[in-house]
Amino acid sequence: MAPIVNVCRETGVPCAVSEAFLRGGAGSEELAQAVLDQMKTESRFSFAYPEDLPLDGVCALLVAPLIWNVPVTFQLGSLPAVLVAAALAETAPLHRESGARIEVYGSELRYAPGELSLPQEPALPLNPVLAAFLLSLPAFAGGELTLRGRWPGHLPQAVQAEALLAWAGIRLEVSADAVRAVLPEGPSADGIIPSMELCSGLTPLLFALAALRAHGDTLTLPDFLAFEDPGDCTLAGDFLSRLGLSLEERSLVSAEPQKSVWTAPNAFWGMALALSAYAAPGLRLANPGMVTAEFPFFWQLYNALPTLTDPAPRKERQEETPHDAPARRRILAN
């Protein structure tokens, strides 16, 4: 061990010997002190970032120094400038609230911590894909819905969500800290699905919304929904079969509904099935936990939503008796 320590000291590389295994906490004091000393100096990290790093990954990278609370320099030359700019815009409110300072010099980004003081409710943007599923509820159940949070209208996924919801007849009213979805007159009269680019998370929502329009009428899917993988076409057809629809060529036509339990391939298809249960109650989902992993409070929120009833005024609630049958859920989890 001594030769390694000597080489490190000669070359100016910080090092420490840990004897925690032999001496417990006392054996870690040298290492702990070395870490504390290094935290007081400026750090210059230079990671090799993959060119396909998604926006969420870049955002996570930019907020990590808030936890470290030390000066950090990032070299971001391998990432597209547009992606870095979007991530900076996304995380700017949190950096501003925490007092941190970020300076950009070409492809170099320097982070200087401020006095760490996070707000009780940071003004973070909504996830546009997850929010789109909730904002589509008026199309399935009527009424209106308001989500608290900043709508990130500059993101491509948000633009796609707005176009999809507009086709379903939903108008979004965006304010500084909330977004409201209302269904003023129902879906557009022509029923034509507009040509738009959709991220993979919004495709299941499109099929759920299209299924609402297809019953009693034939709805043709646009060319932009090109199924490059035959498995994707099979997946969409399997989903639609639970709703009493069949995918023939590029058209949705009525068919005998499949009543077997369905296994969603990901959380977005699971949420699409849950929304579709408003139009086709009693759908069965084998793996609701996949939705929970992506959106922990989805089922809690979903099960608290009112059940569709006749628009006539409700009668006053009577005391339940042991013989009363329990209310049926819209979707059954196996």
Residues 27 and 45 grouped into a single domain: no
Residues 57 and 203 grouped into a single domain: no
Residues 274 and 238 grouped into a single domain: yes
The reply to whether 311 falls in a domain is: no
> Looking at the 3D structure of the chain, how many domains does it have?
3
Residues 251 and 106 grouped into a single domain: no
Stretch (H or E) spanning 270: helix 267-276
- What is the rounded average pLDDT for all residues in the chain? 78
Residues 12 and 49 grouped into a single domain: no
CA proximity to 179, closest of 213, 215, 136? 136
Residues 9 and 86 grouped into a single domain: no
pLDDT in tens, 80-136: 888 888 888 888 887 877 788 888 888 788 888 777 665 666 667 899 999 999 999
pLDDT, mean of residues 226-231: 55
The reply to whether 24 falls in a domain is: yes
The reply to whether 294 falls in a domain is: yes
> What pLDDT is stored for residue 327 in this prediction?
47
- d(CA 310, CA 312) in angstroms, rounded, equals 5
Query: Does the structure show a pLDDT above 80 at 322?
Result: no
Cβ neighbours of 303 (radius 10 Å): 11
Residues 157 and 264 grouped into a single domain: yes
Range of the domain at 96: 40-123
Query: Does the structure show a pLDDT above 90 at 180?
Result: yes
Single-letter amino acid code for the residue at 170: I
The reply to whether 49 falls in a domain is: yes
The reply to whether 240 falls in a domain is: yes
Residues 242 and 272 grouped into a single domain: yes
Residues 161 and 295 grouped into a single domain: yes
> What pLDDT is stored for residue 123 in this prediction?
67
> What pLDDT is stored for residue 182 in this prediction?
92
Pairwise pLDDT comparison (188 vs 73), residue with the higher score: 73
* CA atoms lying within 13 Å on the CB side of residue 262: 29
The CATH number linked to 85 is 3.30.110.150
User: pTM here?
Assistant: 0.60
pLDDT in tens, 20-74: 877 788 888 888 888 888 777 766 655 567 778 888 888 888 888 877 777 888 8
Residues 161 and 281 grouped into a single domain: yes
Pairwise pLDDT comparison (189 vs 246), residue with the higher score: 246
Residues 246 and 118 grouped into a single domain: no
pLDDT in tens, 145-161: 999 888 999 888 999 89
Residues 103 and 196 grouped into a single domain: no
Q: Using a CB cutoff of 8 Å and minimum separation of 24, what contacts does 118-124 make?
A: 118/66, 118/94, 122/93, 122/94, 122/97, 123/93, 123/94, 123/97, 123/150, 123/177, 124/93, 124/94, 124/149, 124/150
The reply to whether 172 falls in a domain is: no
